[in-house]
Structure 1
Amino acid sequence: MKLGSPPSKGSGNGTSPLERAYTDAVDQVGEGDDIRARILDAAVEQFGALGVRRSTMDDVARRANVSRITVYRRFATKDALVEQVIVREYRRWFDRFLVDIRHARTAADRVVLGFVSSLRAIRENPIIGGLLAAEPDMLLGSMIGDQGHTVAMVRRFVADQLRREQRAGHVAREVDVDLVAELMVRISASYLALPSQVIDLDDDEQVAALARHFLVPMLEPPRDSGADAPATGR
């Protein structure tokens, strides 16, 4: 298998919230009915105020000004409601990412801006960022316990952006965009999951400098294309 090429699909049939968010963003799926959207809005407010574990379906129903039965008709369980809230928040992150990088003039600037805006947007999100800060086991458990679906989906999203840069002539054809995307995503995830004592993630200039010094060079073709590539998947 070529280094950085996506692995073949395994036996895992489940999809992560992030996979569904990505698919919805690409397909431009709408919010659904108004009541469903109102319930999701109420859930965001409720979870932001009290956290997921302390909140009940009754709390969400009261905030949405609908009956408890109405909530359960659209979300069979609290877990289903939480998952759909996370799906929608991730989808909004995908959409926001694409809007943010439009302001950048070069591929390097888009990598830097994308890295900075992604870390900031996720950490400041009242649901995703709140879960990372207050209930990390709930969110991180879904990320690392899903056979790699979540990381693979973000990698696919980033790799798609890098392929566009290649087609436009902004990134060399020799660059393995799948491998580069994999590294970028895992670096980003590590900073989100484990607070840094070296980089102040609240300082956009520090985060941008990190991206420019260590992520942007990944866009350059390998210096020694004839060197043996390390084996993967063994």
Structure 2
Amino acid sequence: MPSQRHKGSAVATSSPSPTEDALLDAASECVLAVGVRRTTMSDVARRAGVSRMTLYRCFPDAATLWSSLLTREVETATERAEQRASDHVTARERLVEAVVRTVEELTRNPLLPRILEVDPELLLPYVTDRFGESQRFVLARTEQYLAEGRRDGSIRIGDPTAMAYWMVAIATSYVTSIRIIEQEADPTSVLGELRVLLDAYLRTDW
């Protein structure tokens, strides 16, 4: 797969090939239709119009397929969010806006809410046990913003790894709690509170 380097980033990521993208699109359609656990590799190959051998050449097993799909969706959401945040002046403002917009993108993407609806246990390890590849991508981007914020004087001094982990954990909590938030509160208002919380946390004058 070709290597893609994000603008202003030292984080290199692998961009799916056109064939892989088509397979991931088919996998996403299957998940939206019946969920992850009820989708087989044969279902994905059939929906994509390719042989199982072609699918297995790109993704050797179901775990790799689902991980790649989730990673693609998170990276795409992050890239869109960073574009929307790029006009802000300071690194703190860009970071806060990028995190909030990433959360917004992910909760509006039908894939994650669908997984939370029918297969929530598949996401539980990424909340309770370990960070996945997609979360580590966001973690690395967050640490870069923190470094930029220290250089421009907009972000306070602190342990960058601990600060980045905290911010990603907070964002993950919002995304995985979206069904509760939609039932109990106004999601837009809660996002606004997330923005206030993150900005206050990063300021140099607290």
Q: Secondary structure at the match of 2:14?
A: coil
Which of residues 168, 177, 198 is equivalent to 1:185? Answer: 168
- Closer/same/farther in 2, CA of residues 118 and 29 from structure 1, 3 Å limit: same
Q: Secondary structure at the match of 1:162?
A: helix
Runs of 4+ deviating beyond 6 Å: none
Which of residues 13, 17, 30 is equivalent to 2:15? Answer: 30
* C-alpha displacement of 1:117: 0.9
Question: Matches of 1:131 and 1:24 in 2, distance apart?
Answer: 29
Q: Deviations over 1:25-58 (max 9, x none)?
A: 62253323x3222211211122122211121222
Q: Secondary structure at the match of 1:105?
A: coil
Larger radius of gyration: 1
Aligned position for 2:26: 42
Question: In the alignment, is the contact (CA less than 8 A) between 1:111 and 1:211 conserved in 2?
Answer: no
* C-alpha displacement of 1:99: 1.4
Q: Percent identity?
A: 29
Figure out how many residues of one structure are paired with residues of the other and give that number. 195
* C-alpha displacement of 1:170: 2.7
Aligned position for 1:115: 99
Give the TM-score, by structure 1 length. 0.69
Aligned position for 2:66: 82
Question: In the alignment, is the contact (CA less than 8 A) between 1:24 and 1:91 conserved in 2?
Answer: no
Q: Which runs of 5+ in 2 are unaligned?
A: none
Alignment of 1:1-234 (within 5 A): 26-32=11-17, 34-146=18-130, 148=131, 154-172=138-156, 174-194=157-177, 195-196=180-181, 199-201=185-187, 203=188, 205-212=189-196, 214-221=197-204
- Structure showing greater relative contact order (alpha-carbon pairs closer than 8 Å, 6 or more residues apart): 1
Question: In the alignment, is the contact (CA less than 8 A) between 1:31 and 1:37 conserved in 2?
Answer: yes
Give the TM-score, by structure 2 length. 0.77
Taking only aligned residues, the RMSD between alpha carbons, in angstroms, comes to 2.8
Question: Matches of 2:50 and 2:158 in 1, distance apart?
Answer: 53
* C-alpha displacement of 1:127: 2.6
